Amino acid sequence: MISTRQILSKSKRLSNVLQKQQVVRGISTSCIFSNNSNNSNSNSNINSNNKSITRLSNSINIKSNFEKVIFRNYSSAIKFNLADVGEGIAECEVLVWYVKEGDQIKEFDKLCEVQSDKATVEITSRYDGIVTKICHKIGDMAKVGEPLVEITPESSIAEIKLNAGPASQVTVTPPSVSVSSSSSVSSSVSSSVASSLDHEYDITKKNGQKYKVMATPAVRNLGKLKSVDLKQIQGTGKDGRILKEDILNSLNAEAKSKTQSIPIAKEVITTTTTTTTTTTSAAAKETRVPITGIRKIMVRSMNAACSVPHFGFTEEYIMDSLSDLRNKVKPLAAEKGIKLSYLPFIIKAASLSLLRYPVLNSSISQDQTEIIYKNYHNIGIAMDSPQGLLVPNIKNVESKSIFEIAKELNRLQELSGKGLLTPNDMSGGTFTLSNIGTIGGLHSSPVLLLPEVCIGAIGKIQSLPRFNKHHAVITQSIMNISWSGDHRVIDGATMARFSNALKDYLENPSTMIMDTR
Amino acid sequence: MIRLLRLNRFPILKQLQIEEALYRTPNSGNWIIINNGTPEPIVIVGATGKADKLVNLDEVESRGIQTMKRFSGGGTVVADENTLFTSILFEFETLKQLFPTMSSTTTTTTTETTTTSINVGNIYPKDIMNWSANSFYKHVFQEQLDFRLQENDYAFGKQKFGGNAQSFSKHKFLHHTSFLYDFKDDHMMACLKQPDKIPEYRQNRDHLSFLCKLKDRYQSKDHIINNLLKTINNLPTSPSIKEVTLEEAEQFLLNPHPKSNQLFDYNLKNWKDIINEYNPIKN
């Protein structure tokens, strides 16, 4: 039996050979060892890899079958993304690599060091395995949430060993879903965070008591491959964690008991088969996707916001006059290359209203003894982007014209769509508007973006029947804004007065000109 | 236990080499280092600092001032005998024991903080920055009612008097600060360029308008050092504080570890590894 160590040793020698031979028939070493399928397990990708590998094999006379097997199964490499290192920082400079391609690495070994704003941060591995691709060189800016390195976990290599044989019969281990370490500074900032998030606690019941099943992703992967129920394994690691050895020992023990009690085997197998079927059926009904990147930040933000008492307030705003004004100036804006929606007007009107009710543009000090009034209006606009909900802000709205606000809004929307918003765009917000009405909806209950104390969700504009002062029915364009305020510092009267001021500006837009400084 | 190392006019270059050894050596323990000045003026750039973008190299060279790049992140400073250096190197477990209800910041679109009591394991660089200001240095500078953390700087109001740099690894963090007790105005203006990336509160002010001096508020550096020692001795749960010698700290230099501090070679116009008794590199 060929050991995993022998396979790894041979693959490392092979890697060295390939690197010395440089590119062969246009296929580079990194191409072979990288996950060309982007973690896809499609047959076409596997076949494509197989062809590339075959050409390379022919070129450098690889004779051993198990070496061919190794090549094929590197399609199971995991892309290890750069973790979120805090406060929405979008990228980090790579300072130093502690590993190189082909190195064997253990869980918690140092991978590299990156620089984020004021801190250098050490990134450690979450897996045992082989480093198959370094995605950034020293000095590169690595984006948060994008691959930093690719690692083939040891469980995948173990599968290779067990399935070594004629190439056409090899079972390819399904690659794991691309794992993001954005839960923390990829387990390098705090070991307890690494523990809580890497080891994927399952709360399960045993003898009526709930307990946590603790195991790293690599160990869980091995458990799935071997159809081992981790709940049945006694972990020997720290705090009862299940280690790879525990699974292998369990399998060995099971194999021994099978050879020792053959007459009972048939009955046992029947039962096992039934159980397996059930598990497979149950497993097919759900798909687990790790919460990563922006979504992970959202989970944290929303959890924090839950501790703040929100109160809601909704008002109708008649948009006919603003609609007329917008239609008149839209061509002017277009000449300047600016796409003019209603939002720049609403943003400016909100800022003018905040000048009169500055408490809605404040935050509470950490010890909750002071209200911190901001002398600037950095108004955040919630945007739906490919990465999820983002809230960049327009800086200093109080000193910008509506055209300038519109231009900046266009810029942020464009960058958001491309995933290119900068940390500066994302930080320093003091007040937020969410224009959810462009997608749909009339009323909502927006959640505060802490430490801000007020947020407004703008509903869609509808043409509705209303009474005029002569009690005749007329058609009016009506827009609702649903406000949420931090009830610790915002009372209903202040919110209502702020809304009235905003209503005046939006319904009589000429007054905005009179109050603009 | 926390080891306290007190130095006086110790070369900051050597101090940073010791700190790097302590930081990169596993199980090196908890340390607080206080150094009252560095004997010769020196420009210190952060880990990714581009010397030509941050420093007026010709000016610095003509003044006979060295330029070094430290292993930790952060900004640029011209340090001299009137700079007070303090470094805190703690294991996260220790921090958890000393401050069990330490809070984490929300990490979305703002640099302000709010509190949510959660597992202290979720600690980010910004959390340590907040903790250092609100749980440690607030007590050191308690007489100054306008002391605050402005983005990543220690300031009185909107004037910075202390700059910070941090390094994070799996089990520990390093947070070190250069406090400007005094500085030579023309050194700051002449040696340092306006960086591309500046904090928002700086509002494009030049160095002299943006910075302030501790000597305008404290009669001596000793007063501040005494405040530091009092704060250390009054840490929650009263951990044992052991004052150690330089030799004890230097022992850690013997452990093999990656060395990232560098000196700028004005002739080659590039960074070079440091070759001296602390960091012998065979050519």
Half-sphere exposure of B16 (CA within 13 A, CB side): 27
> Inter-chain contact A392–B121, Cβ cutoff 8 Å?
no
Choose from B69, B112, B129 for mutation: most chain A CBs within 10 A.
B112
Looking up residue B195, the CATH number of its domain turns out to be 3.30.930.10
Q: Contacts of residue B258 in chain A, CB cutoff 8 Å?
A: 96, 98
Give the per-residue pLDDT at A86: 60
Write out the H or E segment, with its range, that includes residue B160: strand B159-168
What mean pLDDT do residues A284-289 have? 81
> Inter-chain contact B108–A451, Cβ cutoff 8 Å?
no
Half-sphere exposure of A141 (CA within 13 A, CB side): 8
The active-site residue out of A140, A384, A487, A504 is A487
pTM, entire model: 0.49
Provide the 10 A C-beta neighbour count for residue A146: 16
Give the per-residue pLDDT at A238: 66
Indicate the fold that domain A311-515 takes in CATH: Chloramphenicol Acetyltransferase (3.30.559)
Q: Contacts of residue B165 in chain A, CB cutoff 8 Å?
A: 118-119
Choose from B168, B174, B176, B261 for mutation: most chain A CBs within 10 A.
B168
> Considering the domain boundaries, does residue B170 fall inside one?
yes
> Inter-chain contact A95–B164, Cβ cutoff 8 Å?
no
> Inter-chain contact A115–B47, Cβ cutoff 8 Å?
yes
Q: Contacts of residue A99 in chain B, CB cutoff 8 Å?
A: none
A126-159 residue pLDDT tens? 778 888 889 998 888 888 888 888 888 765 554 4
Residue B156 sits in which domain range?
Answer: 2-101+124-273
d(CA A214, CA A235): 8
**What is the residue type of A323?**
S
Contacts of A58 (CB under 8 A, 6+ apart): none
What dotted CATH number matches A78-154? 2.40.50.100
> Inter-chain contact A119–B72, Cβ cutoff 8 Å?
yes
| Best mean pLDDT range from A190-194, A275-279, B63-67 | B63-67
Is the separation of the CB atoms in B48 and A115 below 8 Å? yes
Is the separation of the CB atoms in A447 and A302 below 8 Å? yes
Arithmetic mean of pLDDT over chain B = 84
Mean pLDDT lowest for which of A31-45, A151-165, A388-402, B158-172? A31-45
Q: Inform me whether the pLDDT recorded for A192 exceeds 60.
A: no
Do domains A78-154 and A311-515 share one topology? The answer is no
CA nearest A395 in B: which residue?
B200
CA nearest B163 in A: which residue?
A118
d(CA A10, CA B34): 52
A477 - beta bridge partners? A463
Mean pLDDT lowest for which of A118-122, A225-229, A265-269? A265-269
> Considering the domain boundaries, does residue B114 fall inside one?
no
**β pairing state of A91-97 and A110-116:** antiparallel
Between A148 and A483, name the one with better pLDDT. Answer: A483
Indicate the residue of B73, B112, B165 with minimum beta-carbon distance to A363: B112
d(CA B179, CA B38): 12
DSSP letters, A416-448, are HHHT---HHHHS---EEEE-GGGTS-S---PPP
> Considering the domain boundaries, does residue B109 fall inside one?
no
d(CA B44, CA A254): 62
Shortest Cα–Cα distance, A107 to chain B (Å):
12
> Inter-chain contact A86–B124, Cβ cutoff 8 Å?
yes
How deeply is B166 buried, as exposed, middle or buried, from its count of CB atoms within 10 A (0-12, 13-18, 19+)? buried
Between A51 and B28, name the one with better pLDDT. Answer: B28
Judge whether A229 counts as a catalytic residue: no
Q: Contacts of residue A391 in chain B, CB cutoff 8 Å?
A: 108-109
What mean pLDDT do residues A395-423 have? 89
How deeply is B91 buried, as exposed, middle or buried, from its count of CB atoms within 10 A (0-12, 13-18, 19+)? middle
Shortest Cα–Cα distance, B163 to chain A (Å):
10
CA nearest A304 in B: which residue?
B116
Q: Inform me whether the pLDDT recorded for A418 exceeds 50.
A: yes
Mean pLDDT lowest for which of A147-161, A414-428, B90-104, B207-221? A147-161
Is the separation of the CB atoms in A53 and A71 below 8 Å? yes
Selection from A407, A400, A413, A404 nearest residue A338 by Cα: A407
Q: Inform me whether the pLDDT recorded for B35 exceeds 70.
A: yes
d(CA A511, CA A111): 60
Q: Contacts of residue B172 in chain A, CB cutoff 8 Å?
A: none
Mean pLDDT lowest for which of A322-336, A429-443, B191-205? B191-205
| Best mean pLDDT range from A73-87, A287-301, A425-439 | A425-439
Shortest Cα–Cα distance, A98 to chain B (Å):
9
Q: Contacts of residue A108 in chain B, CB cutoff 8 Å?
A: 170
> Considering the domain boundaries, does residue B52 fall inside one?
yes
Give the per-residue pLDDT at A84: 65
Shortest Cα–Cα distance, A5 to chain B (Å):
27
> Inter-chain contact B109–A428, Cβ cutoff 8 Å?
yes
Distances (CA, A) of A279 to A177, A224, A228, A287, A290: 20, 11, 11, 14, 21
Between A269 and B49, name the one with better pLDDT. Answer: B49
**What is the residue type of A132?**
T
Give the per-residue pLDDT at A213: 78
Indicate the residue of B74, B164, B168 with minimum beta-carbon distance to A121: B168
Shortest Cα–Cα distance, A416 to chain B (Å):
14
Q: Inform me whether the pLDDT recorded for A284 exceeds 70.
A: no
> Inter-chain contact A87–B112, Cβ cutoff 8 Å?
no
What mean pLDDT do residues B244-267 have? 89
Is the separation of the CB atoms in B44 and B12 below 8 Å? yes
d(CA B79, CA B177): 11
Give the per-residue pLDDT at A198: 42
> Considering the domain boundaries, does residue B236 fall inside one?
yes
d(CA B102, CA A465): 55
Under 8 Å CB pairs connecting chains A and B tally to: 159
**Domain-wise residue ranges, chain A:** 78-154, 311-515
Selection from A318, A328, A390, A380 nearest residue A351 by Cα: A380
Q: Count, in order, helices (H) and strands (E) of chain A.
A: 16, 20
The answer, yes or no, to whether ipTM is higher than 0.90 is no
Mean pLDDT lowest for which of A22-36, A433-447, B73-87, B136-150? A22-36
Q: Inform me whether the pLDDT recorded for A454 exceeds 50.
A: yes
d(CA B157, CA B202): 11
Confidence class of residue A45 from pLDDT cuts 50, 70 and 90? very low
> Inter-chain contact A120–B168, Cβ cutoff 8 Å?
yes
> Considering the domain boundaries, does residue B107 fall inside one?
no
Give the per-residue pLDDT at A216: 80
Confidence class of residue B186 from pLDDT cuts 50, 70 and 90? confident
Indicate the residue of A98, A190, A428 with minimum beta-carbon distance to B122: A190
> Considering the domain boundaries, does residue B34 fall inside one?
yes
Query: What is residue B181's three-state secondary structure?
Result: coil
What mean pLDDT do residues B55-69 have? 90
> Considering the domain boundaries, does residue B141 fall inside one?
yes
Indicate the residue of B46, B109, B130 with minimum beta-carbon distance to A426: B109
Structure tokens at A214: 């603790």
d(CA B228, CA A399): 43
Q: Contacts of residue A85 in chain B, CB cutoff 8 Å?
A: 124-125
Mean pLDDT lowest for which of A165-179, A374-388, B25-39, B214-228? A165-179
Choose from A82, A87, A136 for mutation: most chain B CBs within 10 A.
A87
Is the separation of the CB atoms in B3 and B88 below 8 Å? no
Mean pLDDT lowest for which of A29-38, A360-369, A455-464? A29-38
Selection from A219, A224, A201 nearest residue A211 by Cα: A201
Q: Inform me whether the pLDDT recorded for A305 exceeds 90.
A: no
d(CA A423, CA A430): 15
Query: What is residue A370's three-state secondary structure?
Result: coil
Q: Inform me whether the pLDDT recorded for B140 exceeds 60.
A: yes
Give the per-residue pLDDT at A336: 86
Sign of torsion over alpha carbons B9, B14, B18, B19: positive
Shortest Cα–Cα distance, A308 to chain B (Å):
10
Q: Contacts of residue B110 in chain A, CB cutoff 8 Å?
A: 427-429, 449-452
What mean pLDDT do residues A279-287 have? 62
Judge whether A471 counts as a catalytic residue: no
What mean pLDDT do residues A115-133 have? 82
Shortest Cα–Cα distance, A293 to chain B (Å):
11
Indicate the residue of A115, A194, A426 with minimum beta-carbon distance to B48: A115
Q: Contacts of residue B111 in chain A, CB cutoff 8 Å?
A: 87, 427-428
Is the separation of the CB atoms in A78 and A151 below 8 Å? yes
> Inter-chain contact A96–B165, Cβ cutoff 8 Å?
no
How deeply is A469 buried, as exposed, middle or buried, from its count of CB atoms within 10 A (0-12, 13-18, 19+)? exposed
What mean pLDDT do residues A480-505 have? 95
Helical H runs in chain B? 12-24, 51-54, 57-62, 92-98, 125-131, 138-140, 185-191, 207-210, 221-233, 246-250
Give the per-residue pLDDT at A105: 87
> Inter-chain contact B170–A184, Cβ cutoff 8 Å?
no
> Inter-chain contact A119–B260, Cβ cutoff 8 Å?
no
Q: Inform me whether the pLDDT recorded for A24 exceeds 50.
A: no
Distances (CA, A) of A126 to A130, A153, A235: 12, 9, 18
Q: At what angle do helices A154-163 and A65-73 cross, to 10 degrees?
A: 140
Contacts of A301 (CB under 8 A, 6+ apart): A449, A450, B106, B107, B108
DSSP letters, B194-213, are PPSS--GGGTT--HHHHB--
